[in-house]
Amino acid sequence: MKTYAKRAGEAKVQRRVEGRRKTPAMETLQLSRLLHKAGAQARLKIGRPNDRYEQEADRVADRVMASPDSSQVAAPVVAGISPLRAQRAEEEEEAAQAQPLQRQIEEEEEEALQPKLQRQIEEEEEPVQPQRLLRQEEEEEAQAKLQRQEEEEEAAQAKGAAGGVASSQFSSQVSSLRGGGRPLAATERSFFEPRFGADFSSVRVHEGGQASTLARSVQAKAFTVGRDVVFGAGQYVPGSPQGRKLLAHELTHVVQQSGGQSGKLQPFREISRSAPSGTIQRRRLPKKSELAALLGGRNQTAHHAGLKRLLSRTMALLSPAQKKKVRKKARGSLSPAQFAKLPSTKQNILLAEALYNSYKVLRLGDPSQTEVGPRNSAERMKLLALFGLTAGHLTALSLGGHDTEIKKIFGAANLATVKRNYARALVRLTYLYRNNKIRTDRSGYSEEVGLGGYANRDVIMLSNDCFDKPRAHESIVTLVHESMHAGNANIGDYIYTSAKNAFPKKSAAIKLKNAAHYEIPLRRHLKMSHSFGKGAFIPAGTTVGGVTAAKLTPLEKGLDLAANRVRKAWDVGVSLHEFYISIHQRPQRWSRRYRRCFPYWSKVEKMTIHQRKAISRSSSDASRKPVTSIDLALSEGVSRKLTLASRAMLKGETKARAFLLKKMTVASYQKIRKNKYKLRDKLLRYVLQDKVGRMTGGILRDMAVLRALASAYDQSTYAKILRARSPSRFPYA
């Protein structure tokens, strides 16, 4: 998912932030961001029985069931589970895995084909030759065509086997099921998550009705597609040993199919990456030396309160056995009674140290590593490959290689404008590459908050995934997206491809200014997900070529409004965090402008700035810093929760209506069904409650947090974020 690029009015921001002084690089960034997208299924295949993935699922299920207590698992099993291999180069393709009555249907192994870089750019300083890059792109297309032919032959060979390619009807029925169902019960998550070492908050369980019919059609007790587990009639009985073992088997397939990719389930060391529903998430902690410096100096009350909030949020992620283990480690040689007699400050520092040392995933990253270039020759070669491939595609897009698709997306009248924008993106990308201005984040922050990239005229930032997987189609498309921002001051982010209903129905005026729409011609060329088929994009309520696009319904408009509010709130939250990092690293930047606005945002995000009186931009005392490491951890947690909210937003009118009707009576729904604003508010409220959990407090407070952050969103400048506000303007403690 992407957010906006603030470019217009950049000089104005420089003057208002720093006066006559040169504005720090961070503050002149006109940001555009990209949230990682989970891959979509390209072709559903059913495996043959008894292959290594099925055997592995049996072994893992036996191991999980043999452990009576999570603390007795020597190591989380997720690290040893084999990811399924990709069927097509760099495209995520989820395989259907099933467990039949007599034998289990298993996933057929296919080698992942890696698209080859047809030529290496001879020297990093070599100018881009458009015609040569166009020839390279044509060679890539020929290679991809050959690859698709080989895959089709392999699929045909598999049809006569026990597994093979699923029928189009079966695939369609599975697709309609996905994303529905219900989440795993809290009791099942608490049992399986510490044993697997994985977060199963996004797993969906399907049983009865259509689910039973689908399982029966493939002679399966259960089968798994991505994060959706489908059970046959009477097979979902997690309270019985046999039913729980079957569930363990299918959860192994969930981990196999996640493959450790962005947006998928992530392995962790005995600890979940997502808080259970209803808990407030704050995962990463500063190290002991930083905490000791804060709690041993000024503003102790505020620092101590902030650390207590941070610890309570982090401890909420642990199972009872893990909490017991951490508390024992914190006590050391002391008895519980002796530990209880220690000052509360000392107790909390020891507890934080125990958490920090027990789980690497809980360690706050180094803020100085949030923007770094290639660190060695291997990384330089990866960036060279990514640049070469992306430049080749931009060349083809700007020189007429994809005119047909461009016309379908933007309209024939806008062809010249779109191609000119692609050309500008290519020119700027080339400049930034040559000047070592394509960077990545090695602090872990981007992964925490789902930040895939951002850009302005002076720098392009990419996630580690993009930086480290240069031949992945999603990496190339991401760099194209960010290059559109870098090369075109008027192109921002207004809507994302995840808005399935509204995205293809936007007006030409919006599409020309929205970076995500510039992805679609390339996505279609590369046969990627989020391509919206092969048809033309027709604005809602208009007719093109005899085809009329229906107007958006009130519920579709409500969905669009809800998704936009979350997107704007997330973007502002990430922008604020970047300011916090800048001031944390260079306290001397704490100016009157910041003193008049950041205490307000501190209260909104439940940080400590607004609670501290003794703040100094020049003191060497860490406890007096304007922004502390505790503040960074608390701010990061809010951004992460907003990321979860972005991903949790419902896709499509049908799912949204079904979701609301589970939460409301039919009569209540009928009263608001024509009011897009009331529908927006209901969707936001229930998504936060059911799919995200608490961000900063109760649901009313969190809804107010969303409103406050989203209201500060501006496509062009940081003016609204930096507007003077008193903390008293936010009505919640």
As beta bridge partners, residue 188 has none
8 A C-beta contact, residue 505 and residue 552: yes
Phi, psi (5° rounding) for residue 2? -115, 155
Is the pLDDT confidence value at 414 over 90? yes
Phi, psi (5° rounding) for residue 508? -60, -35
Tell me how far apart the alpha carbons of residues 370 and 593 are, in angstroms, rounded to a whole number.
24
Is the pLDDT confidence value at 420 over 50? yes
pLDDT band of residue 703 (cuts 50, 70, 90) is very high
Instruction: Name the helix (H) or strand (E) containing 655.
Output: helix 653-663
> Cα torsion for 523, 526, 532, 537, to the nearest 10°?
60
pLDDT band of residue 167 (cuts 50, 70, 90) is low
8 A C-beta contact, residue 78 and residue 195: no
pTM, entire model: 0.61
Across the chain, what does the average pLDDT equal? 76
pLDDT in tens, 173-207: 777 777 688 888 878 887 887 777 777 878 889 99
The answer to which of 25-29, 497-501, 552-556, 660-664 has the lowest mean pLDDT is 25-29
> For position 175, what pLDDT does the model report?
75
pLDDT band of residue 265 (cuts 50, 70, 90) is very low
| Percentage of the chain exceeding pLDDT 90 | 35
> For position 41, what pLDDT does the model report?
30
Tell me how far apart the alpha carbons of residues 589 and 627 are, in angstroms, rounded to a whole number.
11
The correct answer on CATH 3.40.390.10 for the domain covering 368-552 is yes
| Total number of residues shown for the chain | 733
Is the pLDDT confidence value at 44 over 70? no
Mean pLDDT calculated for residue range 583-587: 92
> For position 80, what pLDDT does the model report?
58
Is the pLDDT confidence value at 678 over 90? yes
> For position 181, what pLDDT does the model report?
84
8 A C-beta contact, residue 105 and residue 97: yes
Q: Determine if residue 322 is left, alpha or beta; phi over 0 gives left, psi from -120 to 50 gives alpha, anything else beta.
A: alpha
- Among 515, 600, 584, 560, which residue's Cα sits nearest to residue 684? 560
pLDDT in tens, 351-368: 989 988 888 777 787 877
Tell me how far apart the alpha carbons of residues 252 and 256 are, in angstroms, rounded to a whole number.
6
Q: Give 668's contacts (C-beta < 8 A, 6+ positions apart).
A: none
Residue 513: C-alpha distances to residues 4, 10, 149, 492, 563 (Å)? 10, 18, 37, 6, 19
Mean pLDDT calculated for residue range 500-511: 87
Tell me how far apart the alpha carbons of residues 350 and 327 are, in angstroms, rounded to a whole number.
9
Helix 288-295 vs helix 300-315: angle between axes, to the nearest 10 degrees? Answer: 140
Burial-class residue 676 by CB neighbours within 10 Å (0-12, 13-18, 19+): buried
pLDDT in tens, 530-541: 899 989 999 888
Between 474 and 132, residue with greater pLDDT:
474
Domain parsing of the chain, residue ranges = 168-259, 288-363, 368-552, 557-722
> For position 81, what pLDDT does the model report?
63
Mean pLDDT calculated for residue range 662-667: 92
Tell me how far apart the alpha carbons of residues 216 and 208 are, in angstroms, rounded to a whole number.
11
> For position 49, what pLDDT does the model report?
58
* Amino acid (1-letter code) at residue 160: G
pLDDT band of residue 31 (cuts 50, 70, 90) is very low
